[in-house]
């Protein structure tokens, strides 16, 4: 908001963070915000409220996410008890996080020909994935890397075990021009020249496919007036495993479409807002009291220590490999940490710039998000995309072709309420099937074959060059777009 205000040469709020949503049980009517410098609490009334706060990678110990990605946007939506979070157990790990910091080494390194080497500098990915090698999907490469380390083939340093990313073969010119950011990261954070030296890497949490459940407009189905866009939303662009580069497409598309939807909603009768301002005042008082209680409590727990224990629990038990026993342990540990978080004590009760106070109220909410991930992973007894269960290694379309919906029943609760939303395969443009490599080891839903047959019948009489007609038969969508965006998409080479 401050960036936009500066660009428009207008005064705007700076260093403000939303700490709650205001609502009447059906309609979101704004947000409660806190000034990080002064501690001031302000209520903002609005026809539409959009959460675009990114993911929640910092519930894990090592993440490529920025340190601010603690999931507060999703958390304040969850705390309404009305809005739901979708597919929270779908958490993606990127194969090449710089070790030990977790800073992202772009997929372009491997896409351009970079290799993964073990401690003996042996290229190991073709041993596991002969067809795709380093270019297999992120979840597969991450699992193979961790398996290889567990088998004793990692490189060992004082920071722990890792593997190597080798882009030396690409040459200095290629790295200086095509992978310049990679070179700068290596220089600034590792003190090495990647054209001459190997890069230490290990998988790190990268992307959250789960988030605030929305419809195609970015609108919450449960709480009217609440919108979400980008990684903070679950609007089903990615399913359980985002493909590389699709977050950029999501950002561009969501930024445009959700923005249009918010404007249309605000101008429509549905978006009209008539509220008792006392409602927002009460939400503001409630949040102020919550913060005063935390600041004034003489508890025995340390917010930073609880955050560390949460991150270690999630990394050890709800990471790349998941198993029922470890997930049960994680759920129980997080429940204990939630209870302990109610007894946090601060050394400073300063109302303004107080990092300890910020950590105290944020860890309570981060624990709720972590529990949504862990409990959702425990309940989903299959492997799907980035969610991999050692004890249930097969994808089970027959039982689990459904979306997880998590809601939080109240302040004293220590588990989310999970519900499931069935997916209609007969409406899908591409029915679930084999991913194109690896074992064809999954339990198929009978509707998948029926849908494939229906698609074949729909397309058999259509001209293959007429993309628009084929799309209209497979999955009509133009009627969902604003009128000015309903023209055919053009590709390079198409006639103007």
Catalytic residues: 94, 110
Q: Which residues pair with 280 in a beta bridge?
A: none
What percentage of the chain's residues is helix, strand, coil (to nearest 5)? 40, 20, 40
Round to whole Å and give the CA distance between 316 and 285.
39
| Strand pairing report for 115-117 and 155-157 | unpaired
Sheet holding 211-213, edge to edge: 233-234, 211-213, 85-86, 402-407, 417-422
Instruction: Verify cis geometry, omega within 30 degrees of 0, for the bond prior to 100.
Output: yes
Other beta carbons within 10 angstroms of residue 152's beta carbon come to 9
Class of residue 455 by CB neighbours under 10 A (exposed 0-12, middle 13-18, buried 19+): middle
Q: Element (H or E) spanning 17, and its range? A: strand 16-23
158's CB contacts (< 8 A; 6+ apart) are none
The distance from CA 360 to its chain's CA centroid, rounded to whole angstroms, is 23
CB 34 within 8 A of CB 287: yes
CB 442 within 8 A of CB 396: yes
| Strand boundaries in 317-456, DSSP class E | 395-396, 402-407, 417-422, 442-443
Round to whole Å and give the CA distance between 96 and 409.
38
Q: Element (H or E) spanning 166, and its range? A: strand 160-166
Other beta carbons within 10 angstroms of residue 130's beta carbon come to 9
Identify which of 241, 335, 345 has the alpha carbon closest to the alpha carbon of residue 293. 345
Sheet holding 28-35, edge to edge: 16-23, 28-35, 41-45
Q: Element (H or E) spanning 119, and its range? A: none
135's CB contacts (< 8 A; 6+ apart) are 110, 111
Round to whole Å and give the CA distance between 369 and 73.
11
């Amino acid at each position: 908001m401050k960036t936009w205000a500066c660009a428009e040469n207008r005064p705007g709020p700076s260093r403000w963070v939303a700490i709650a949503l205001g609502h009447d049980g059906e309609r979101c009517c704004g947000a409660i915000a806190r000034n990080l410098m002064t501690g001031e609490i302000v209520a903002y009334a609005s026809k539409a409220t959009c959460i675009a706060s990114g993911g929640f990678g910092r519930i894990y110990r090592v993440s490529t996410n920025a340190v601010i990605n603690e999931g507060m946007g999703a958390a304040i939506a969850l705390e309404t008890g009305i809005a739901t979070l979708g597919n929270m157990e779908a958490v993606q790990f990127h194969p090449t996080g710089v070790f030990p910091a977790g800073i992202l080494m772009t997929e372009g390194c491997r896409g351009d020909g970079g290799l993964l080497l073990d401690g003996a500098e042996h290229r190991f990915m073709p041993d596991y994935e002969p067809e795709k090698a380093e270019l297999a999907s992120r979840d597969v490469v991450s699992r193979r890397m961790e398996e290889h380390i567990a088998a004793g083939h990692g490189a060992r340093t004082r920071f722990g075990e890792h593997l190597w990313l080798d882009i030396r073969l690409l040459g200095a010119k290629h790295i200086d021009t095509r992978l310049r950011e990679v070179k700068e990261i290596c220089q600034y954070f590792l003190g090495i020249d990647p054209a001459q030296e190997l890069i230490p890497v290990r998988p790190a949490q990268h992307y959250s496919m789960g988030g605030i459940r929305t419809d195609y407009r970015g609108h919450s189905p449960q709480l009217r007036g609440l919108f979400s866009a980008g990684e903070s939303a679950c609007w089903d662009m990615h399913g359980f495993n985002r493909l590389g580069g699709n977050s950029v497409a999501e950002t561009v598309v969501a930024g445009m479409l959700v923005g249009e939807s918010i404007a249309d909603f605000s101008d429509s009768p549905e978006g009209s807002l008539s509220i008792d301002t006392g409602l927002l005042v009460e939400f503001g008082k409630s949040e102020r009291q919550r913060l005063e209680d935390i600041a004034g409590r003489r508890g025995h727990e340390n917010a930073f220590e609880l955050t560390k224990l949460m991150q270690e629990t999630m990394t050890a038990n709800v990471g790349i490999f998941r198993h029922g026993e470890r997930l049960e342990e994680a759920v129980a540990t997080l429940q204990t940490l939630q209870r302990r978080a109610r007894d946090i004590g601060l050394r400073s009760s300063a109302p303004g710039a107080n990092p300890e106070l910020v950590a105290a109220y944020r860890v309570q909410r981060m624990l709720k998000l972590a529990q949504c991930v862990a409990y959702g992973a425990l309940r989903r007894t299959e492997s799907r995309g980035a969610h991999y269960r050692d004890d249930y290694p097969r994808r089970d379309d027959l039982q689990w072709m459904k979306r997880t919906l998590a809601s939080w029943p109240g302040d004293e609760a220590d588990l989310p309420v999970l519900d499931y939303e069935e997916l209609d395969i007969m409406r899908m443009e591409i029915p679930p099937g084999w991913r194109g490599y690896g074992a064809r080891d999954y339990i198929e839903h009978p509707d998948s074959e029926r849908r494939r047959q229906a698609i074949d019948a729909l397309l058999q009489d259509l001209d293959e060059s007429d993309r628009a007609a084929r799309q209209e038969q497979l999955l009509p969508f133009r009627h969902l777009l604003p009128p000015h965006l309903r023209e055919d998409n053009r590709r390079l080479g198409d006639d103007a």
